[in-house]
Structure 1
Amino acid sequence: MKSIRFTNAEISMSGNLFLPENFSEAERYPAIVVVHPSGGVKEQTSGLYAEKLAGHGFITLAYDASYQGESSGEPRQLENPYNRVEDISAAVDYLIAQNCIDEQRIGVLGICAGGGYAVHATMMDRRIKALGTVSAVNYGDMYRLGWEGDLQPSSSLELLGMAADQRTAEARGAVTGYLPTTPNSMEEAPNRDFAEAYEYYRTPRAMHRNASSKFTTRSLAQLITYDAFSHADVFLTQPVLVIAGSEAGTRWMTEAIYQRAASQKKSIHIVNGATHIAMYDKPDYVTEATEKFASFFSENL
């Protein structure tokens, strides 16, 4: 693994590039961009999947999103979905510029919110030849319909007002406002997935100094009105493999994009017994998913 920098407009992006065993500069390899969840960084689950897939012969790139981790940008922890999608294309730009990478064999793998962004990027950027997701979340649907898809969209109107009020306050000189992406304690968790999210991000299980488990309050305005899956029935034509845990509250979103994708070569794999977060790092589940992705990307890149 080597640390690299690339750019997305004025943002300096920080990434980790994983190379296959016996890597040779004289060869040309397929490559996979791996996209982290909201509130995460490249040293967590995206880096884990990137490392595992490099072991199957791919060059892989896990990076910190704009405004997050070791990438630049102010305000810190801005979670603008449109920036996040553009990050993916910027990562593709970097890979295409490397002589050791075959530009006709580039894929993307996204995890949680990174899965939603990966779906959107694949529709927009035809240089991406295959798409994989793990525990995919369409962030807009999550806010409009709830983690388990059981809310009414009108319930999110109050949050839009919160975003507007905070932006007004900041325009008048207030400090940047933030909201947590994970509960502040296990007791605050509203369900099993969020309890495990607390454990993953806020305990030694996977906590990292650059993953602050928060995002800017103003980001709500973009997130609530965003739809990562919009027009997937028209534009998502590349090969697709989506994976989710059988016990994940968000499983319905993985099933939704599988149904909506226009791809003539799409598949869904449900990992028995896995929760949303368990797919991030539990060895047996990650190994099962990685084996599926290795076969999928080998066939389609």
Structure 2
Amino acid sequence: MATGTVRHTTFRNRDMYWDIAADIHVPADFDESGSYPTIVVAHPIGSCKEQTSGSIYAPALAEAGYVAIAFDASFQGASGGEPRFLEDPNQRVEDFSRVVDFAVTLPYVDAGRIGVLGICGGGGYTWAAAKTEKRFRAVVSITGANFGNLQRNMAAQNGGVLEALRGISQQRTAEARGADSATNGFLPETAEAAQATGDIDIIEAFDYYRTERGQAEHGCVLFEAAHGTTALGWDAFDLADQLLDQPLLVVVGDEDKQGAFGAFTDGHTLFDLAASTDKQILEVPGASHYDLYDQPHGAGEALKAVIPFFGEKL
């Protein structure tokens, strides 16, 4: 059903046992019989389509003349799948192809002009998806983070990766024997606790996800615990030097050099690795990781580069 310039939908492909929920943002002068370049827009880890992907980037792309499909990852948001809050990089990457499979059935989507944009962990998944999903003709990451690196770095500060793997295995065994499932929260419980970390990403994550600024029903930043081994063994950079050959724009904030999520470093690493001969990196002056989610001097500046990039490459 259309509501203004947003169409709320769910779909299920032949290889799926659950629905994916998506918001299709269309231009104000949308013509059902037209043919539009289309951008698949992926939300951050622990987020949902009602936050930055669908509240900032997809509407701006639609205003610029694109169809933009902001979707909830499987097992998260309004999408189906059990267990809930599963953050499995392999499933997250496969979701991109599932969305493209849906998009190419829409008569107004130009199947030869499909791009992809992802934010934070969604940006890292965007890199990984584009390595093998060649229906994506142009690729953009906004403060993209390699979730595997992030998980390994966090584990290293709390007993080590091997210890984390053993702990997850114990939880999985307990659940197989009937124990309740467990979730891990990604953020401190209070603003004061976030401030006490001294880390810009943690402090601003609390401000985004736990206040009116970005709070949303499904943007709960929870992660199912028993299947966390997959992320610890996953790497968004793997084979990027051979397979990531599409035109590429990497956007990072120059105030995020020391943030816990590692997006500044990850963006530069991916840029250097990518096989693409047509690639750009943009450091937005004065912008932090979360400025690139919703702030005029962050996301607003990023969009000044993103929109013409897609205009040229699609």
**Kept after mapping to 1: 8 A contact 2:184/2:225:** yes
Query: For 1:255 and 1:45, how far apart are their aligned partners in 2?
Result: 22
- 1:146 Cα shift? 5.0
SS of aligned partner of 2:19: strand
TM-score by length of structure 1 reads: 0.95
Whether 1:257 aligns to 2:270 is: yes
- 1:5-44 alignment to 2 at 5 Å? 5-8=10-13, 9-44=16-51
2:172 to 161, 167, 174: 167
**Kept after mapping to 1: 8 A contact 2:294/2:300:** no
Which blocks of at least 5 consecutive residues in structure 2 are unaligned?
1-5
Query: For 1:216 and 1:145, how far apart are their aligned partners in 2?
Result: 18
Which blocks of at least 5 consecutive residues in structure 1 are unaligned?
none
1:157 to 159, 162, 167: 162
- CA deviation vs aligned residue, 1:172-213 (integer Å, no higher than 9, x gap): 111111101222222333311111101111111111111222
Query: For 2:238 and 2:122, how far apart are their aligned partners in 1?
Result: 16
SS of aligned partner of 1:198: helix
- 1:163 Cα shift? 1.1
Aligned residue number for residue 141 of structure 1: 149
2:292 to 273, 279, 292: 279
Query: For 1:40 and 1:153, how far apart are their aligned partners in 2?
Result: 24
Whether 1:181 aligns to 2:183 is: no
| Number of aligned residue pairs | 298
**Kept after mapping to 1: 8 A contact 2:291/2:297:** no
**Kept after mapping to 1: 8 A contact 2:172/2:227:** no
Aligned residue number for residue 206 of structure 1: 214
Query: For 2:271 and 2:28, how far apart are their aligned partners in 1?
Result: 33
Query: For 2:272 and 2:159, how far apart are their aligned partners in 1?
Result: 25
AA matched with 2:75: Y
Query: For 1:200 and 1:153, how far apart are their aligned partners in 2?
Result: 25
Q: Percent identical across equivalent pairs?
A: 40
SS of aligned partner of 1:15: strand
TM-score by length of structure 2 reads: 0.92
2:309 to 265, 279, 296: 296
Query: For 1:298 and 1:11, how far apart are their aligned partners in 2?
Result: 34
- CA deviation vs aligned residue, 1:232-266 (integer Å, no higher than 9, x gap): 00000000001011111220000010000000100
**Kept after mapping to 2: 8 A contact 1:183/1:195:** no
1:78 to 83, 86, 94: 86
AA matched with 1:182: L
AA matched with 1:40: S
Query: For 2:302 and 2:189, how far apart are their aligned partners in 1?
Result: 30
- CA deviation vs aligned residue, 1:104-154 (integer Å, no higher than 9, x gap): 10010010100011111100111111100011010111122459xxx6999
- CA deviation vs aligned residue, 1:30-85 (integer Å, no higher than 9, x gap): 00000001110100000020111111111000011101111111111111111111
AA matched with 1:285: G
Aligned residue number for residue 239 of structure 2: 231
Query: For 1:55 and 1:99, how far apart are their aligned partners in 2?
Result: 20
AA matched with 1:95: A
Distance 1:284 1:209, change over 3 A: same
2:95 to 56, 81, 87: 87
